[in-house]
Copies of this chain bind each other. A is one copy, B any other.
């Protein structure tokens, strides 16, 4: 069944009102009609089974048939601190990362990051938010991941240190500490475990940046001997955190 995230003010009493873009999708793209059922999510843990009562490309309305509350707590939350890069690649990371369940995306500007301007970036936020929403709807998520504003590298280190239980930084020159062994040996203060994963730009981190990370308490790790593209490393590393700690 098709799933849509709405904002809480669009869910009122025993009915939901769909905004213009989703109404267009329901009426024109999916060609659904009155009496068809849908799932609506409020991004606060509630899931509504609804039935379309009015279908129009500008405005659809549906009656709520059933409400379900998701109380379960994720076993782990992954915060992805990822170097900004060209639009297409970044959007791909957002899409796949949302599918596998990353909680928060932090675009980061490092010395070798291809896209250095946060202003240019902000103009594309709306499009990126839509990619995230569609990926979350398709993958059965009950919560939308958060896309943060770009951070300077040192700020990103401080942020990770403050909000996560452990932080790892994937580095191609790390040849001792495997990510798997590191994760297995850690103790987490509670559930959910909060893990920050840092993925550098195409040209890698500089030695100085790795030193800065270590000072901030962030552990350089390796996934193995393979040289992975940044987007592959991002999805694989996040997937492995979920594989190890549960939560896929």
A interface residues with partner B (beta carbon < 8 Å): 96, 99-101, 138-141, 180, 223-229, 232, 235-236, 239-240, 242-244, 247-248
| Chain B residues whose CB sits within 8 angstroms of the CB of A139 once the complex forms | 226-229
Q: Quick one: which of B96, B224, B240, B247 contacts A240, CB cutoff 8 A?
A: B240
CA distance A248 to B141 in the complex (A): 29
Number of copies: 2
The minimal Cβ–Cβ distance linking A81 to chain B, given in whole angstroms, is 20
User: Does A101 contact B239, Cβ atoms closer than 8 Å?
Assistant: no
CA distance A247 to B180 in the complex (A): 12
User: Does B227 contact A248, Cβ atoms closer than 8 Å?
Assistant: no
| Chain B residues whose CB sits within 8 angstroms of the CB of A232 once the complex forms | 96, 99-100, 235
| Chain B residues whose CB sits within 8 angstroms of the CB of A248 once the complex forms | 223-226
The minimal Cβ–Cβ distance linking A104 to chain B, given in whole angstroms, is 17
In chain B, what residue has the closest Cβ to A172?
B140
CA distance A138 to B138 in the complex (A): 32
In chain B, what residue has the closest Cβ to A248?
B224
Q: Quick one: which of B96, B100, B236, B242 contacts A100, CB cutoff 8 A?
A: B236
| Chain B residues whose CB sits within 8 angstroms of the CB of A224 once the complex forms | 242, 247-248
User: Does B227 contact A140, Cβ atoms closer than 8 Å?
Assistant: yes
- Given contacts A225-B248, A239-B239, A243-B244, list 14 more A-B pairs with CB under 8 A: A96-B229, A99-B226, A99-B232, A100-B236, A101-B226, A139-B226, A139-B227, A139-B229, A140-B225, A226-B248, A232-B235, A236-B236, A240-B243, A243-B243
